[in-house]
């Protein structure tokens, strides 16, 4: 079914060039913003399309909303809102994070395996510390486990292979993938964790993924380096602290945590074998422009009645 002359609500400022792009994709569109709604409240009921966020108070009024394009990948926070659950608008996201998350997680990995975090601290202290040569870890010939082998995981796996690593993926359906030497289902995670030198977690936040890695899983690890670039609740934080202290986990790189942010004084802050960044692994120069281009491409599809890209499966949560 083709859609003509849609009302498009835009939640962030548009440049003249972006406005022109939208009108090329949907020539008869009416583009409205919060200021327009303040002037004419009846517009809310006529909204067909939204980019990139619909204010919480508009979900009940925007009964005609057909499609929401968000500018991020994770939609767990959005799908937790009752007003969103009650609304059946199609939601699409963006997948423009792969290269940035891959670079970020491998940067963290090398900080840990090559003692680079400690070396930077020594540099800031003005100290030449040859003991940093002790306790280094190597990656070639070892196993890399990707928990959540999707597009981002495939990018991470390619780097692992370039470093000479064997790659094992974990995903819901254990179908073979060219990105990995082996793919297994979640039920085999203890076996895979026991043989892995590096474990990268790239899971969305759903009922099935919360505490996916708990005390039992962490105890199965044998001095692995654990990286999390997905969602903090995938890993039991208290159990991770214990595993780091016991040596089951040799080092951790966390772009996400539970809770997020970690409170002052939390043990993870002070651990020398932990690298923490404030949830920005997917950010990169040009991100907003890339996300907007995804929206424009999808808008052209929507107007022509073509299938949208990156449709979120509400039941799955991503």
User: What residues act catalytically?
Assistant: 231, 260, 279
3-state SS of the chain is CCCCCCEEEECCCCCHHHHHHHHHHCCCCEEECHHHHHHCHHHHHHCCEEECCCCHHHCCCCCCCCEEECCCCCCHHHHCCHHHHHCCCEEECCCCCHHHHHHHHHHHHHHHHCCHHHHHHHHHHCCCCHHHHCCCCCCCCCEEEEECCCHHHHHHHHHHHHCCCEEEEECCCCCCCCCCCEEECHHHHHHHHHCCCEEEECCCCCCCCCCCECHHHHHHCCCEEEEECCCHHHECHHHHHHHHHHCCEEEEEECCCCCCCCCCCCHHHHCCCEEECCCCCCCCCCHHHHHHHHHHHHHHHHHHCCCCCCECCCCCCC
């Amino acid at each position: 079914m083709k859609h003509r002359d849609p009302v498009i609500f835009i939640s962030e400022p548009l440049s003249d060039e972006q406005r022109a792009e939208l009108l090329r994709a949907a020539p008869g569109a009416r583009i409205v913003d919060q200021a327009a709604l303040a002037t004419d409240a009846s517009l809310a009921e006529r909204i067909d399309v939204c980019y990139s966020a619909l204010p919480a108070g508009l979900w009940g009024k925007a009964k005609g909303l057909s499609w929401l394009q968000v500018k991020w990948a994770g939609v767990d926070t959005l799908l937790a809102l009752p007003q969103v659950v009650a609304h059946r608008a199609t939601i699409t996201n963006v997948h423009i994070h792969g290269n940035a998350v891959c670079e970020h997680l491998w940067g963290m990995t090398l900080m840990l395996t090559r003692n680079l975090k400690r070396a930077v601290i020594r540099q800031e202290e003005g100290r030449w510390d040859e003991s940093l040569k002790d306790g280094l870890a190597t990656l070639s010939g070892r196993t890399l486990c990707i928990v959540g082998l999707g597009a981002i995981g495939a990018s991470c796996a390619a780097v692992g292979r370039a470093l000479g690593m064997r790659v094992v993926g974990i995903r819901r359906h254990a179908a073979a993938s060219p990105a990995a030497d082996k793919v297994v289902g979640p039920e085999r995670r203890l076996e895979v964790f026991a043989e892995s030198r590096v474990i990268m977690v790239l899971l969305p936040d759903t009922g099935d993924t919360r505490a996916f890695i708990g005390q039992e899983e962490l105890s199965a690890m044998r001095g692995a380096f654990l990286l999390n670039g997905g969602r903090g609740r995938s890993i039991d934080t208290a159990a991770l602290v214990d595993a780091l202290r016991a040596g089951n986990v040799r080092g951790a790189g966390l772009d996400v945590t539970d809770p997020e942010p970690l409170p002052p004084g939390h043990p993870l802050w002070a651990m020398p074998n932990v690298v923490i960044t404030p949830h920005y692994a997917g950010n990169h120069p040009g991100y907003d422009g890339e996300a907007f281009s995804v929206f424009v491409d999808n808008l052209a599809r929507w107007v022509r009645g073509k299938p949208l890209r990156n449709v979120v499966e509400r039941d799955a949560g991503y």
